A and B are shown apart, each in its own frame.
Chain A
Amino acid sequence: MARKDYKKPLPHLDEENRWFFEACARHELVLQKCASCGTVRFYPRALCPSCMSSKTDYVRASGRGRVYTFTVTHQNQAPGFRDELPYVMAYVELDEGPRILTNIINTPPGEVKIDLPVEVVFEDIDENLAIPKFQRIQ
């Protein structure tokens, strides 16, 4: 799919986040870990809010986690979403700790539950950009 044909909002790429989505394009979910104090943080940002260090390690996440909470959205007039109702929005708690907002896809909405084990699956937009989503682990 070309970027211009994609109707949902895409991330506005900048110097703090481009590396994250490029990693997604390689089908890798990568988290930042502070090289000074060791705190893992999500969403990505240049400075560690725990110690204000700019030194960052990048660690590949397992891509596995569990549904922390979710909703089945039946109404959204925004382009792209209104064609895919109902869809599932969720927070997934990664095995590494952080809770990240996402969609649960490839899974019937009626079968999504809190604590459901899920794994990352990447929606490819183009060679430099993919969106991480999650699906039930079969």
Chain B
Amino acid sequence: MTLRGKTAVVGVYEHPARYAPHLTQYQIMAESARGALADAGLTLADVDGLCTAGVGPIGVIALANHLNLRPTYVDSTNLGGSSFVAHVAHASAAIAAGLCNVALILYGSTAASERFAVGTGGTGAFGDPPDAYEAPYGPTVVGNYAMAAMRHMHEYGTTSQQLAEIAVTTRRHASLNPAAKYHDLITVEDVLASRVVSSPLHLLDCCMISDGGGALVVTSAERARDAKKKAATVLGAAEAVRHTGIGHEDVLEVAAAQSGPKAMAMAGVRHDDVDLRMVYDSFTITVLLTLENLGFCARGEGGAFVSGGRLAFDGPCPTNTDGGGLSSNHPGMRGIFLVIEAVKQLRGEAGSRQVKKCEVALCHGTGGVISRRHSGVTLLLGTAI
């Protein structure tokens, strides 16, 4: 039993909102649903599966209410920012098992207009057992990722310049994405001149906080043959969590080390087969660690791997071609945009940032906090089985 070739993403929509105090979270989700269904050539009446995260504890029921849906399959698994990548896998399994036929995956957030300080404002306490030993010390999200960056620099001599290269290339991609928040090109020097938020990470090593949302439509491979546009076939998927265990946290080993090989084996693809990498870029170090742990380079070699524009859409290892959370949008849980951009690239709809030959795309969502507790979800999509 495998997911390979059973289902496909047939509709995508990225909400254009970046700062939208005039919109509600549920309005963003409804508008995204409309967009993705139109993209798929389907209507709300076709939908019998519903997935979301980032709403209230049982908000998926309210979302069904809001759209007047009566789904036969619902999933509001919340793994943090990777949730929507996981929903593609869950919906695919549900479709393959006959629990539903057309799944709608929705995300909406007004994090920016609510001035929600995702990275630097919280106490880090969710009310879970480990919080008692962490929250008293001021563990901001950026601070935890910064500790991973500090250790990587110590063990491997990675530099702030190398991390900055990720931000520079990602900004170049944003400059080619009309929907992106930031279009002005930046240099390594600009990144290093931006203020230090939590050493060694500078402001431009960090993603933004925006408003926004998006939607995905997943259906069976059989039904996908009638889709309006070229379908992106689900080739493989796997999830993992990584945490402090019983006290021996290795901050440089992330969940991707577990989920990546499993998803790639299911898909039957090797690293050389992957034409596009869409990896969660909460911070520059997140990209570097994810690429290393997925096996695109060896542990410790990430600094050289990302340098010299190698991650550019027209370089040898195209990565985060939409401009990422660093420069396009980041409403708090960015996973859905990884899949949206991958589908656009596989269809050849990415305009001036189009990867020349794009037949296999790897999405990897990270949710929660690296060097504390996080989830990782890897998803392989392709133009053919």
Contacts and interface: CB of A to CB of B under 8 A. Distances in A.
Interface string B141-158: 011001110110010000
A8 B138 CA distance: 8
Interface in A48-78: 49-50, 68-78
Contacts of A87: 138
Contacts of B140: 73, 75-76, 78
A74 B117 CA distance: 14
B251 A9 contact: no
A12 B131 contact: yes
A12 B127 contact: yes
Given A10-B136, A11-B135, A75-B198, A99 B247 contact: yes
A41 to B, nearest CB: 4
A41 B251 CA distance: 18
Contacts, number: 129
Contact of B136 (A8, A13, A74, A91): A8
B248 A76 contact: no
8 cross-chain pairs, A with B, having the tightest CB-CB distances, nearest first:
A98-B247, A11-B132, A42-B247, A71-B146, A41-B246, A69-B151, A9-B135, A72-B199
Contact of B130 (A43, A98, A114, A131): A43
Contact of B129 (A42, A45, A80, A90): A45
A71 B246 contact: no
Q: Chain B binding site: helix, strand, loop or mixed by DSSP?
A: loop
A111 to B, nearest CB: 13
Contacts of A74: 195-199
B154 A9 contact: no
A89 B195 contact: no
A98 B244 CA distance: 10
A39 interface: yes
Contacts of B372: 101
Interface of A: 8-13, 16-17, 21, 39-45, 49-50, 68-78, 80-81, 87, 89-91, 97-103, 114, 131, 133
B24 interface: no
Given A16-B129, A101-B134, A103-B137, A41 B150 contact: no
Interface string B230-257: 0000000000000011111101000000
Interface in B252-294: none
A69 B148 contact: yes
B351 interface: no
30 contacts: A8-B138, A11-B135, A16-B129, A17-B132, A17-B133, A42-B247, A43-B132, A43-B133, A69-B148, A69-B150, A69-B251, A69-B371, A71-B143, A71-B198, A71-B199, A72-B196, A73-B143, A74-B196, A74-B198, A75-B197, A78-B121, A78-B122, A78-B140, A80-B138, A91-B251, A99-B249, A100-B133, A101-B134, A114-B151, A133-B137
Given A41-B246, A91-B147, A73 B198 contact: yes
Nearest to A44: B133
Nearest to A94: B247
Given A11-B135, A74-B197, A76-B140, A17 B247 contact: no
A103 B146 CA distance: 14
A102 B134 CA distance: 7
B139 interface: yes
Contact of B139 (A98, A101, A133): A101
Given A73-B138, A89-B139, A103-B137, 13 more contacts: A16-B129, A43-B130, A74-B198, A75-B140, A75-B142, A97-B248, A98-B246, A98-B247, A99-B248, A100-B133, A101-B139, A114-B151, A131-B136
A49 B252 CA distance: 23
Contact of A43 (B117, B125, B129, B139): B129
Interface of B: 117, 120-125, 127, 129-140, 142-143, 146-148, 150-151, 154, 195-201, 244-249, 251, 371-372
Contact of A78 (B138, B142, B148, B200): B138
Given A9-B136, A71-B146, A43 B247 contact: yes
B340 to A, nearest CB: 30
Contact of B147 (A16, A40, A81, A90): A90
Contacts of A10: 136
A102 to B, nearest CB: 6
A16 B129 CA distance: 9
A39 B248 CA distance: 12
Contacts of A69: 147-148, 150-151, 154, 251, 371
Nearest to B123: A9
A90 B125 CA distance: 17
B117 A77 contact: yes
